[in-house]
Structure 1
Amino acid sequence: MQKYIMHIDMDAFFASVEQLDNPALRGRPVGVGSMHRRSVLSAASYEARKFGVRSAMPVHQALKLCPQLQVVSGTRGRYKEISDQVMKVLGNYSPVVEQASIDEAYLDITGTQKLFGPPRKLAQSIKDDIYKTTGLTASVGIAPVKFLAKIASDLNKPNGISIIEPHEVEEFLKTLPVEKIPGVGKKALPRLHAFSVKFAADLRKYSPEFWKERFGERGLVLYEKGAGIDPTPVTLGGQMKSSSAENTFDDDVSDPHVLKTLLLKQSERIAADIRRKGLKGRTITLKIKFPDFRQITRSKTLDFRTSHSGTIYKTGCKLLDNEGRIGPVRLIGIGISNFENRSRQLSLLDDPENPVDDKKLDQLDKAVDQVRRKFGINMLTRGRLLEDE
């Protein structure tokens, strides 16, 4: 039986929700963000994109490109409400739905033809159902494998359907720019171009061993994608891949004490987030952006999984200290990822900085979470944070 994966991507989701709820915004360029001097847009409507406005663009830059841009603050609770409605619709068409983010999901539609007809007819039915339920449009991509389904959903936006049939995969990869492959970023692209790899199929010019030697295990994944291979399954329900928090300063900050205070607040926020979901992570990532918009990320993978804010914070501080004197900073953030449940090699030595076996910390965290849920998040505050009020 031929396998088909479908990727659903809501069109300009945050901005479209704002236009849905406020008729005065419909047909006008809209950006979701704030008017703070250092704010960036989290979304842009298609009317705004015609002017070159994009998500993650600084608001001041967006307003230069499009002076008539309507900047709205956004209502995350409303986004979650509509997202839940969309996911409920998708569940009516496939028993295997993986929510990838608040506005996108994968469906394994293999074997659904007898119930809903061929893939294109099913895609149209889902789009019609989403529109009837929410008033919003979605774009759909269908392919034999997951990464190609995601690429396909972006080919005919907005409100489109794109299907890559199995017999079309080889020719499609010959014209697919290699940077369109998920995971190929700005750093990897020049290296690939140096090997005359401009399109996905060009990856097959070299052996799997060639790519592994230069990119490690990721090189093998790249080679497979260049051949249209992606064994990644659609996972029922999906799982959060990371949790992060960041702050952009109105004025650049150089004081390490201020930066570490923010890291502590962020660590507490993301630790509480993953505990609510019953998760523990191994990889801590520090993000720093400078006044010239240059950005660095530094990561540390622990030998154990944690949901303890103190461990996240201490790891983030070490990553920051390792950078030495970094000068003025316009943004700092911290995140945790790598939630998979792997068995851990037991240590014969006690490590006082390794809280993995310290059940008291877990019990304390749970007690703090219970108090904050009952009486409010500000009921318990670390002494370090009180000193900085």
Structure 2
Amino acid sequence: MAAKRYIVHIDLDSFFVSVERKFNPELIGKPVIISGSAERGVVASCSYETRKFGVHSAMPTKQALKLCPDAIVIHGSHDRYSEASRQVTQIIHDAVPLYQKSSIDEFYIDLSGTERFYEPYKLASQLRQRIIKETGLPISFGMASGKTLAKMATNKAKPNGQIFVPHGKELEFLAPLPISAIPGLGESTCNKLYAYGLEKIGDLQRVELRFLETVFGKAGTWIWEKARGIDSGEIVPHSDRKSISTEHTFNDNVSDKKTLETVIISMTEELAGKLRRENKLASCLAIKIRYGNFETHTQQEKIPLTAAEHIMIPGIKNLLSKAWNQSRSIRLIGVRLSQLTTGSYQINLFEDNEERIRLYQAMDRINFKFGDKTVCRAAGMEIGTRNFNPFLKD
């Protein structure tokens, strides 16, 4: 018989809004939207007071304000959110044996085995109270036998609550929930299930696996398992690579600024795409140049956490100007993104407008399907990925 698992999913409620309320308590209880601008921005985060009007993340801010005209729009602060996330991460790091940071405001914790010494739910409850006390941020958690079920429990516990789904009670907990509550179940799949009269997870639990496999192929097995709380996904320890980089060696030494900028733009775009695919953000840029005599120079600078090349490219071009003695030709050039942390590009939503977000999403989908550089900026088109020698550094 397999040992019981105790998986905890932690989510900081309305994280960006909660951080802003720490700095300005007058925002407490009021409808708040974190965004770049009221006209062209998108919603990075919103308070529960706005959600009852239908406002949600990634919605155009203009549309959100039509739904909730009294909402207060605030331009987000990278540094504040990064620091708050760091504080929470440190508390969890000091308190538990195994955890995974899945985004800037979400964590998975594996307390399996601790039941021999301590009651896992009590341990998770004490950890939640410690985070609330030391950071002043509201937090919810769900505990269950697997990651997906724990996340669903957290969503049920919000705002600022906690739920434990006991072993053997998985089906009972899931049955009344709508099928849309299953993380990763897309809108089109839900609509297909609705067409068969399947609206609640309990409806899915009564369907035979063979039917779901016939309709959805391999995804049918995934749906069948999620409806039953079956999830063997492991907690990946929080020890990720700290940097990502790429270099390009020229056949002939180069001293033309336009050519060099074309190369570093292309490399920066490639690395930023890798960050987004791996759910990473970088907070340090660096450039490396090697002259014809193999003399090598590097230059770096700190930036707000990002995975967006339109934010990185101006900094990379500036570093090139600082590092390069323009009277000398260059043999090799490289770009490095470091001080990586787990987190989605959502942290940058308050810097961007709706069109830019959609552009990035479309570019990433195409490049993931057909290969890097299938779609890129015109400035980077002259350099193909086959000329690059990317490497990853731990």
Q: TM-score, normalised by structure 2?
A: 0.64
Whole-Å separation in 2 of the counterparts to 1:198 and 1:64? 30
Q: Does 1:362 align with 2:364?
A: no
Whole-Å separation in 1 of the counterparts to 2:385 and 2:55? 45
> What secondary structure does 1:141 align onto?
strand
Whole-Å separation in 1 of the counterparts to 2:83 and 2:117? 28
Whole-Å separation in 1 of the counterparts to 2:175 and 2:139? 27
What residue in structure 2 maps to residue 12 of structure 1? 14
What residue in structure 2 maps to residue 93 of structure 1? 95
- Report how far residue 300 of structure 1 moved: 5.0
What residue in structure 2 maps to residue 185 of structure 1? 186
Of 337, 340, 346, the residue aligned with 1:276 is 337
Deviations 1:339-380 (A, max 9, x none): xxxxxxxxxxxxx9662xx5x5438x99xxxxxxxxxxxxxx
Q: What residue identity is the alignment partner of 2:37?
A: M
> What secondary structure does 1:316 align onto?
coil
Contact between 1:94 and 1:112, CA under 8 Å: does it hold in 2? no
Whole-Å separation in 2 of the counterparts to 1:49 and 1:179? 17
What residue in structure 1 maps to residue 221 of structure 2? 220
> What secondary structure does 1:91 align onto?
helix
Q: Does 1:60 align with 2:62?
A: yes
Query: Aligned pair in 2 of structure 1 residues 115, 87: CA closer, same or farther (>3 Å)?
Result: farther
- Report how far residue 107 of structure 1 moved: 0.4
Whole-Å separation in 1 of the counterparts to 2:38 and 2:175? 44
What residue in structure 1 maps to residue 304 of structure 2? none
Query: Aligned pair in 2 of structure 1 residues 238, 200: CA closer, same or farther (>3 Å)?
Result: farther
Of 114, 120, 127, the residue aligned with 1:112 is 114
Matches within 5 A, 1:216-295: 216-237=217-238, 267=270, 269-270=272-273, 276=337
Of 81, 84, 88, the residue aligned with 2:83 is 81
What residue in structure 1 maps to residue 260 of structure 2? none
Q: What residue identity is the alignment partner of 2:30?
A: R
Whole-Å separation in 2 of the counterparts to 1:158 and 1:278? 32
Contact between 2:225 and 2:231, CA under 8 Å: does it hold in 1? yes
Query: Aligned pair in 2 of structure 1 residues 35, 136: CA closer, same or farther (>3 Å)?
Result: same
- Report how far residue 111 of structure 1 moved: 2.1
Deviations 1:305-354 (A, max 9, x none): xxxxxx73x31259xxxxxxxxxxxxxxxxxxxxxxxxxxxxxxxxx966
Q: Does 1:156 align with 2:185?
A: no
Contact between 1:123 and 1:161, CA under 8 Å: does it hold in 2? no
Q: Does 1:315 align with 2:374?
A: yes
Query: Aligned pair in 2 of structure 1 residues 68, 190: CA closer, same or farther (>3 Å)?
Result: closer
- Report how far residue 214 of structure 1 moved: 3.0
Q: Does 1:33 align with 2:94?
A: no
Q: What residue identity is the alignment partner of 2:337?
A: R
Deviations 1:43-79 (A, max 9, x none): 0122333443322222222223333321111111211
Query: Aligned pair in 2 of structure 1 residues 302, 205: CA closer, same or farther (>3 Å)?
Result: same
Query: Aligned pair in 2 of structure 1 residues 82, 142: CA closer, same or farther (>3 Å)?
Result: same
Matches within 5 A, 1:119-138: 119=121, 121-138=122-139
Query: Aligned pair in 2 of structure 1 residues 45, 278: CA closer, same or farther (>3 Å)?
Result: closer
Whole-Å separation in 1 of the counterparts to 2:73 and 2:137? 20
> What secondary structure does 1:100 align onto?
strand
- Coordinate RMSD, CA, aligned: 3.7
Of 84, 104, 112, the residue aligned with 1:102 is 104
Contact between 2:366 and 2:374, CA under 8 Å: does it hold in 1? no
- Report how far residue 215 of structure 1 moved: 2.3
Query: Aligned pair in 2 of structure 1 residues 210, 133: CA closer, same or farther (>3 Å)?
Result: same
Q: TM-score, normalised by structure 1?
A: 0.65
Query: Aligned pair in 2 of structure 1 residues 276, 210: CA closer, same or farther (>3 Å)?
Result: farther
Query: Aligned pair in 2 of structure 1 residues 263, 190: CA closer, same or farther (>3 Å)?
Result: farther
Deviations 1:64-98 (A, max 9, x none): 33333211111112111111111111123321101
Gaps of 5+ in 1: 244-261, 280-288, 304-310, 319-351, 367-389
Whole-Å separation in 1 of the counterparts to 2:43 and 2:127? 29
Contact between 1:19 and 1:26, CA under 8 Å: does it hold in 2? yes
- Report how far residue 205 of structure 1 moved: 4.1
Query: Aligned pair in 2 of structure 1 residues 125, 296: CA closer, same or farther (>3 Å)?
Result: closer
Whole-Å separation in 1 of the counterparts to 2:33 and 2:267? 30
> What secondary structure does 1:61 align onto?
helix
What residue in structure 1 maps to residue 147 of structure 2? 146
Contact between 2:38 and 2:62, CA under 8 Å: does it hold in 1? no
Deviations 1:122-170 (A, max 9, x none): 2321111101221111001011111010000011211101111112112
> What secondary structure does 2:157 align onto?
coil
Deviations 1:251-294 (A, max 9, x none): xxxxxxxxxxx999855644575863699xxxxxxxxx88xx9x
- Report how far residue 301 of structure 1 moved: 4.4
Q: What residue identity is the alignment partner of 2:132?
A: Y
State percent identity of aligned pairs.
Answer: 36
Whole-Å separation in 2 of the counterparts to 1:191 and 1:184? 11
Contact between 1:177 and 1:199, CA under 8 Å: does it hold in 2? yes
Q: What residue identity is the alignment partner of 2:97?
A: P
> What secondary structure does 2:43 align onto?
coil
Q: What residue identity is the alignment partner of 2:219?
A: R
Whole-Å separation in 2 of the counterparts to 1:180 and 1:78? 31
> What secondary structure does 1:167 align onto?
coil
Query: Aligned pair in 2 of structure 1 residues 264, 24: CA closer, same or farther (>3 Å)?
Result: farther
Query: Which deviates more, 131-140 or 54-63?
Result: 54-63
Contact between 1:202 and 1:226, CA under 8 Å: does it hold in 2? no
Whole-Å separation in 2 of the counterparts to 1:67 and 1:195? 39
